[in-house]
Amino acid sequence: MNSNVGGIDKILRIIVGAALIIWALTGGPMWAWIGIIPLATGLMGWCPLYRIVGLNTCPMKKG
């Protein structure tokens, strides 16, 4: 499983995911639990949807 989420994309996923989860924990709507998905994909650095549609926001590795 190669990383396909990088840089600003990863940071935004973590921030948005955490914010949604906090909102859900503090009495927000049930749908705010969807924040688990962007948080998890941001922390893992891999998004299954990106793989399906062929996206990759990671910088190219030199080697």
In this prediction, residue 57 carries a pLDDT of 93
- Residue 63 predicted with pLDDT over 50: no
Q: Which two tokens stand for residue 33?
A: 């639990």
DSSP 31: G
In this prediction, residue 2 carries a pLDDT of 86
Stated length of the chain: 63
How many domains are there within the chain?
Answer: 1
* 58 within some domain: no
What range does the domain containing 11 cover? 7-53
* 2 within some domain: no
Verdict on whether the full-model pTM lies above 0.75: yes
Question: How far is Cα 4 from Cα 31, in angstroms, rounded to an integer?
Answer: 26
* 62 within some domain: no
Task: Give residue-wise pLDDT tens across range 16-55.
Answer: 999 999 999 999 999 999 999 999 999 999 999 999 999 9
Residue 2 and residue 34 in contact, taking contact as beta carbons nearer than 8 Å? no
Residue 4's CB: how many other CB atoms inside 10 A? Answer: 19
